[in-house]
Amino acid sequence: MTERPAFFETKIEYLKGVGPQRAALFNLDLGIFTYADLLQHYPFRYEDRTRFYDISQITDPECSGLAAVQLKGRLRHWEIVGEGHKKRLIGYFSDGSGTLELVWFQSISWLEKNLRADGEYVVYGKPVAFGGKFSITHPELEILSEASDRPENESGGHWQPVYNLTERLRKRHIDSKLIARLQRALLEVSLSYIRETLPDSLIQKYRLIGKKEALWHIHLPANEAALHQARRRLKFEELFYNQFRLIKQKLIRKTEYAGQVFTRTDFVGQFYKDHLPFELTNAQKRVIREIFEDMRTGKQMNRLLQGDVGSGKTIVAFIAILLAIDNAAQACLMAPTEILAEQHFQGLKPYAEALGLKITKLTGSTTKKERRRIHEGLLLGTVHLIVGTHALLEDIVQFKNLGLCVIDEQHRFGVAQRAKLWNKNQGVYPHILVMTATPIPRTLAMTLYGDLDVSIIDEMPAGRKPIKTVHRYDSHRLAVFGFLREEIRKGRQIYIVYPLIEESEKMDFKDLMDGYESVSRSFPEYQLSIVHGKMPARDKDWEMQRFIQQETQIMVATTVIEVGVNVPNASVMVVESAERFGLSQLHQLRGRVGRGAEQSFCILMTDVKLSKDTRIRLETLVRTNNGFEIADTDLKLRGPGDLSGTQQSGVVDLIIADLAKDGEILKVARECAQAILEDDPDLILPQHAPIRDHVETVRENENNWARIS
Ligand code: ADP
Ligand code: MG
């Protein structure tokens, strides 16, 4: 329930069948406090209990290996046998066609008190044969009369909702059946309070069922079709309001938040004339135009710059930075890692200095003394551009006049951090440019960045040769090393990357060090660099610099080099234990090569034993360089919950819609939200009353809106 008139704020303790003790458990274990919370606790799956079996059917050896079955019959009697941990309660259950044993090792005393001898029960569980006898251990058990006040189909069966539960709840006999019964009790008393939250026009147009019906059937589906309609309706509603909120936010920014007006372009012109190192691609020119237009309007820019790895986002950002500086404002560029901040700093420094601009760097390892100087320079306005990491977010970092924030590789930053940057300037908010390299699936982009305007670089700089990707088994290492040797002889440099994952850090670290030793033994004639996350920043820097200066030929590293590092002469990326990396991550890693004019290679090394998903991941990479295709495959394989950036961001908190599967609904919902907001931004029209009411009730109560930056 997203709609919360006072009735739905009632504490669940007052619901028939709950009471203070269960209420406390619901509060603690499920975060359910009110009627609304309970109604919104949707099942995460459903079991097909539309069919009843006869005991004779399952005891028939032909039918062995059945999954869980549902039976209807009488519990004749029971007994307790065994001692200690073997102590168990055995119930003898028969239905006229045969008899079966029901076995419990737990809750024995509770069962003794509550079981009804000769009672009629519905039993559900997985039958197993042991010594010629059939039994079900820890079956679900329900008195037939209780079972039968559920909506049933012709055969007397139903779809059983399965709810998220905790071990503690189960121990207190709170199971899915009980929750379904509570939902039923709640629905019965609340039907008259449930209001429709979508306008009639949308309901008609997309043939959605009403809110009441949907809530009923999501908990107590009469049949498969009703369940399908209920889910469709609730997903639509959820995605509609998700998009409505984001688009509304965007409109508010556009109309209400002033931005500095940047019109002078002296440095920009000079840079184009004297220092631009290459011809910009058409895509780069187009996105620069889009950014410049934003920064001229007098409204705050909030723009997402999307472009595949290596598409040349940095230069675009730099040109936008020059525009800010041209107009007496300062700029900051924030990167997710020290290495990347260093790289940007080193890369941009020559340009900045050629134009007589002061650029500086602030990271976690900047000394106190240095910091004081930087803080001062920023306040006085003598520093024009600052490049850094999260360190830039600290409150003490204040500017004379911050005009533009560029956030690189956004997926590492949360939305809250984005918001923090807003407040770095007194008076007018700075313009914000978010750059993301992982091409994220469209559905995720819509929900994560739906409040931003989007610019896309969909073209690679000319002369790039597509990276050749191959998959090799560990047993071919000798041949792979032979190939590496040839490439180094031609003057190229090599990355060899190892996984380093927190949970198995020690082992991974050993793998990395073993790998390093074996590489140095195999290439005695060459110099190696090594970089990993546990090294002090100074040492990392030093190793990185040696590689950039081509003093070393091979860089052995963990994924710290994943993001953004740019060494055009490095043309081979070897990924060890590639099966342990995600698809997007592998694509990112591969993007470290292919930046120069030479043919580049990516070699994915794995064990021979691979899961089906892993094979799909590797095949996808070998087949395509297209980041969007890769992102979509990734989403399908992993599901959205797992995608980097979604958990921390807090923006995507969908309870029923699934970004991997509901892309089509999302698209339509977004179009609807967009059209309504264009047509009637203040929701004055009578047909939009349901939206207005809903938005207002949500705003009045504890709300999701505050989470949006
Ligand atoms: P990303 O979009 O992944 O951040 P970068 O900005 O690091 O990519 O650019 C990748 C490489 O391509 C850099 O070496 C950069 O100098 C180069 N580059 C960018 N734009 C062009 C262009 N138009 N022509 C040639 N090289 C370019
Ligand atoms: Mg980059």
pLDDT for 629: 85
User: Which ligand 1 atom is the nearest neighbour of the CA of 596?
Assistant: 14
pLDDT reported for residue 690? 94
Query: Is the distance from CB of 253 to CB of 302 less than 8 angstroms?
Result: yes
Who wins on pLDDT, 587 or 412? 587
Residue with CA nearest ligand 1 atom 15: 312
| pLDDT score recorded for residue 500 | 78
User: Whose CA is closest to atom 16 on ligand 1?
Assistant: 312
Instruction: Find the mean pLDDT for residues 553-570.
Output: 79
The whole-number pLDDT of residue 148 equals 59
Q: Same fold for the domain at 47-159 and the one at 468-624?
A: no
pLDDT of 195 > 50? The answer is: yes
- Among the atoms of ligand 1, which is closest to the Cα of residue 307? 2
The answer to whether 435 and 410 are in contact (CB under 8 A) is yes
Q: What is the mean pLDDT of the chain?
A: 87
Q: Where is pLDDT greater, at 232 or 582?
A: 232
Q: What is the mean pLDDT of residues 260-281?
A: 95
Nearest residue CA, atom 9 of ligand 1? 312
Q: Is the pLDDT of residue 320 over 60?
A: yes
Per-chain residues with Cβ under 5 A from ion ligand 2: 564
Ligand 1 centre to CA of 311 (Å) is: 6
Judged against a pLDDT cut of 80, whether residue 564 lies above it is answered with: no
With 0-12 / 13-18 / 19 or more C-beta atoms within 10 angstroms meaning exposed / middle / buried, residue 277 is exposed
Average the pLDDT over 387-399 and give the result: 92
Expressed in angstroms and rounded, the spacing between residue 497 Cα and the centre of ligand 2 is 19
The amino acid present at 1, given as its one-letter code, is M
Q: Could you say which ligand is closest to the alpha carbon of residue 318?
A: 1
- Closest atom of ligand 1 to CA, residue 457: 2
Residue found under tokens 């009110």:
34
pTM: 0.73
Pocket of ligand 1 (CB under 6 A): 278, 280-281, 284, 307, 309-315, 437, 461, 564, 566, 568, 595
- Tokens 């079996």 appear where? 53
Nearest-angstrom CA–CA distance, 101 and 245: 55
Q: Which architecture characterizes domain 266-457 according to CATH?
A: 3-Layer(aba) Sandwich (3.40)
Q: Enter the tokens of residue 485.
A: 């040797």
Residue 709 in this model has a pLDDT that exceeds 50: no
Distance 349 CA to ligand 1 centre (A): 16
- The CA 495 to ligand 1 mean position distance, Å, reads 19
Per-range mean pLDDT, top range of 62-66, 92-96, 438-442: 92-96
Cβ atoms of 609 and 584 within 8 Å: the answer is no
Q: Is the pLDDT of residue 37 over 80?
A: yes
Contacts 24+ apart (CB under 8 A), 90-99: 90/135, 91/115, 93/55, 93/121, 93/123, 94/55, 95/54, 95/55, 95/71, 97/54, 97/55, 97/56, 97/57, 98/54, 98/55, 98/56, 98/59, 99/55
Looking at residue 209, what is its pLDDT? 97
> Which segment, 163-177, 296-310, 314-328, is predicted with the most confidence on average?
314-328
Residue 705 pLDDT class (50, 70, 90 cuts): very low
The closest of 441, 439, 410 to 667, measured between CA atoms, is 441
Shortest-distance Cα residue to atom 25 of ligand 1 = 461
Q: Is the pLDDT of residue 64 over 60?
A: no
pLDDT at position 212 is 96
d(CA 32, CA 21): 13
What is the distance in A from the centroid of ligand 1 to the CA of 471? 27
Q: Quote the DSSP letter at residue 149.
A: T
CA of 565 to the centre of ligand 1 (A): 11
Q: For 170-186, how does the pLDDT look when each residue is reduced to its tens digit (9 = 90+)?
A: 888 898 989 999 999 99
468-624 CATH fold? Rossmann fold (3.40.50)
Mean pLDDT, residues 605-628 taken together: 93
pLDDT at 640 over 60: no
Mapped onto helix, strand or coil, the DSSP state of residue 493 is strand
- Which DSSP symbol is given to 334? E
Residue 591 pLDDT greater than 90, yes or no: no
Which pLDDT does position 176 carry in this prediction?
92
Can you tell me the mean pLDDT for 226-255? Answer: 92
Measured CA to CA, the distance from residue 226 to residue 190 in angstroms comes to: 20
pLDDT value of position 237 = 97
Ligand 1 centre to CA of 486 (Å) is 27
As a whole number, mean pLDDT of residues 68-80 equals: 92
Please tell me the predicted confidence (pLDDT) of residue 647: 38
Looking at residue 563, what is its pLDDT?
54
Q: Band of the pLDDT at 72, cuts 50, 70, 90? A: very high
Distance of CA 564 from the midpoint of ligand 2 (Å): 4
pLDDT recorded at residue 156: 61
Would you state the pLDDT for residue 646? Answer: 43
Task: Compute, in angstroms, the gap from residue 313 CA to the centroid of ligand 1.
Answer: 7
What pLDDT is stored for residue 704 in this prediction? 37
- Which ligand is closest to the CA of 566, given by its number? 1
Say yes or no to pLDDT of 442 above 90.
Answer: no
Q: Ligand 2 centre and the CA of 614: distance in Å?
A: 27
Per-domain residue ranges for the chain?
A: 1-44+163-194+202-218, 47-159, 266-457, 468-624
CATH (one of 2.30.33.40, 3.40.190.10, 2.40.50.140, 2.120.10.70) for 47-159: 2.40.50.140
662 alpha carbon – ligand 2 mean position (Å): 30
The ligand placed nearest to the CA atom of residue 590 is 1
pLDDT in tens, 689-700: 999 999 888 776
Residues 503-517: tens digit of each pLDDT: 677 888 888 899 999
How deeply is 707 buried, as exposed, middle or buried, from its count of CB atoms within 10 A (0-12, 13-18, 19+)? middle
Taking the C-alpha atoms of residue 209 and residue 125, their distance in angstroms, rounded to an integer, is: 34
pLDDT of residue 582: 85
Q: Which of 309, 315, 321 to mutate to test the pocket of ligand 1 (most atoms within 8 A of CB)?
A: 315
Position 597 confidence tier, pLDDT thresholds 50, 70, 90: confident
Confidence of residue 412 (pLDDT cuts 50, 70, 90): low
User: Are β-strands 493-497 and 554-557 bridged in parallel, bridged antiparallel, or unpaired?
Assistant: parallel
Query: Relative to the CA of 568, which ligand 1 atom is closest?
Result: 14
Each residue's pLDDT tens digit, 123-151: 999 988 877 788 999 998 888 876 655 55
Higher pLDDT, 453 or 652: 453
Instruction: Identify which ligand lies nearest to the alpha carbon of 305.
Output: 1
pLDDT at 102 over 90: yes
Structure confidence at residue 379 as a pLDDT band (50, 70, 90): very high
Reported residue count of the chain is: 709
Residue nearest to atom 24 of ligand 1 (CA): 461
**How confident is residue 66, by pLDDT bands cut at 50, 70 and 90?**
low
> For residue 645, what pLDDT is reported?
43
By alpha-carbon position, which residue is closest to atom 4 of ligand 1?
Answer: 313
Q: Which residue among 344, 595, 600 is best mutated to probe the pocket of ligand 1, counting the most ligand atoms within 8 A of its Cβ? A: 595
